[in-house]
Amino acid sequence: MTHLPFIIAAFAVFVLVLAADALGTRLRLRAARRQALQRQQRQRARDTQAPATPLATELSR
């Protein structure tokens, strides 16, 4: 009795799970990079915008 089919199936499942984990990690990293880039672009746009009205130095009633 040989265990070769079981061993091949176990390695195949291992490789599939490993590939799925690597793909999931890559997709999460890509999404995180995209979010960080968008956040950085919004911050730069916010910093370069001049305020429409100057801030008052005193409180008004």
The token pair that represents 59 in the structure block: 């409180």
- Token digits for 55? 């801030």
pLDDT band at 60 (very low <50, low <70, confident <90, very high): low
Give the containing element (helix H, strand E) for 36: helix 4-48
> What is the tens place of the pLDDT at every residue in 38-50?
999 999 988 887 6
Q: Give tens-digit pLDDT for 23-40.
A: 999 999 999 999 999 999
Q: How many residues are recorded in the chain? A: 61
Q: Which residue has the tokens 């979010």?
A: 35
Strand ranges, E, within 1-61: none
